[in-house]
Amino acid sequence: MKLYIKYMVSVRCKAEVQAKLDKLGLHYGQVDLGEVEFKQDITPEEHDQLQRELQDLGVELLDKGHGELIEQVQAIIVDLVHHADTLPKMKNSDYISQQLNRDYTQLATLFSEATGVTIERSIIRHKIERVKELLIYDELNLTEIADKLNYSSVAHLSGQFKKETGLTPTFFKQLKRKKNVA
């Protein structure tokens, strides 16, 4: 069972939420910014207790419907970046809004309140992971990767890659080659 927590956007907040979970004796697994994965379902009483404890921290549980929307947005991002042969030639905001038949502004606000990052930042992070994957498998060159992932140019892809990883795509690829040789 996964619950989403609104306004949980810092490492300190994450630690305080874990302390509240421990205090309540709830069995949880993964705790990330904006979400908690429980090892088992929690009862309505435990849910209410957790809600009260979290309010003391200035954060709150998202209702089930909003949590499901966050999961749907995340699934669309993963499908869009990792499973599509080519990305649609439309704005990401229009695509996500169309897929969920919802207003993008509302989705974006809800997503960033729950996860601490914008939808666009999440898409960029997934795209960079996809670029790494494609570079490692060495099936496409940078121009082909840029085209496949809807970058306006190789320079744009390289700039985002360097901003996210601290490395250029070429240097990343060379590092992987050296690791495989050694």
pLDDT of residue 169: 93
Cβ contact 35:122 at 8 Å: no
Whole-angstrom Cα distance, residue 164 to residue 168?
A: 10
pLDDT of residue 180: 61
Whole-angstrom Cα distance, residue 176 to residue 132?
A: 10
Average pLDDT of adjacent 10-residue blocks, the chain of 182 residues: 81 88 91 86 90 88 83 91 79 93 94 89 94 89 92 94 94 77 51
Do 44 and 84 belong together in one domain? no
pLDDT of residue 84: 78
Do 174 and 100 belong together in one domain? yes
- For the chain, the residue count is 182
pLDDT of residue 104: 96
Do 106 and 156 belong together in one domain? yes
- The closest of 75, 66, 72 to 113, measured between CA atoms, is 66
pLDDT of residue 11: 81
Provide the residue type at 13 as one letter.
C
pLDDT of residue 120: 95
pLDDT of residue 95: 93
End-to-end CA distance of the chain: 43
Provide the residue type at 27 as one letter.
H
CATH of the domain at 97: 1.10.10.60
- The reported pTM is 0.74
Domain range enclosing 14: 2-61
Query: Cβ of 142: how many Cβ atoms within 10 Å?
Result: 20
Do 34 and 112 belong together in one domain? no
CB-based burial, 54-71: b 16+ in 10 Å, e otherwise: beebebebbeeebbebbe
Do 114 and 32 belong together in one domain? no
Cβ contact 151:87 at 8 Å: no
Q: How many domains does the chain have?
A: 2
Do 90 and 128 belong together in one domain? yes
pLDDT of residue 143: 94
Whole-angstrom Cα distance, residue 138 to residue 119?
A: 28
pLDDT of residue 18: 92
Do 23 and 43 belong together in one domain? yes
pLDDT of residue 103: 95
Q: CA dist 180 to 15, 63, 72, 122, 152, Å?
A: 38, 47, 37, 29, 31
